[in-house]
Amino acid sequence: MASVSASHLILFIASMMIAASVAGVFTNSIGQLSGALSEQGLDVSSDVRTDVEIISDSGSDAIYDNNGNGNITLLIKNTGTETLAVDPGVMDILVNGQFATTYEVSRVEGSGSWRQGEVVRVEIDPPQDSLNGDVRVQVTINGDEEVLEFRA
């Protein structure tokens, strides 16, 4: 009779251990999934909140500096509700389809982060040696794509 209770006890302990490990793996996986979901939610909400406008006057011939340093100067206004950083890392720039790697971002007046209604100046050193004719610049910030076309 004692051998029956001993084996019952062993089976009970084994089943509890298995159930506990299953429960542990289960809660751990759900914890990771919830963390990822929260981060994704934050990312999507900041993508939705981000809205910028390129306010440079494309009709003027002052966007591309033909005679000077050959830079393209863009003025970009934050019209969304997301506060952005004044940092080249927040944006990706394509000039005539080519990825621009050298550009500087600065606030036109004041300092600090780039809040709603404020304007930054972006000085782009184009990846092409020289630009002629129609130029298309695309700026992508948090998934918001803005295009400016002008004549060089």
- Name the site residues for another protein (rule: CB under 8 A): 8, 11-12, 14-16, 18-20, 22-24, 26-27, 30-31, 33-35, 37-38, 40-42, 44-46, 48-49, 51, 53, 55-57, 59-60, 62-63, 73, 75, 77, 79-81, 108-109, 116-117, 119, 121
Closest distance to another protein from the beta carbon of 132 (Å): 19
Closest distance to another protein from the beta carbon of 35 (Å): 7
Q: Tell me which residue has tokens 């289960």.
A: 26
- The order of strands in the sheet holding 91-95 is 98-100, 91-95, 134-141, 144-151
Closest distance to another protein from the beta carbon of 59 (Å): 6
Query: Rounded to an integer, what distance in angstroms lies between the CA atom of residue 56 and that of residue 76?
Result: 7
Output 17 or 101, the one with its CB closest to another protein.
17
Burial 44-75 (b: 16+ CB within 10 A, else e): eebeeebbbebebeeeeeebbeeeeebbbebb
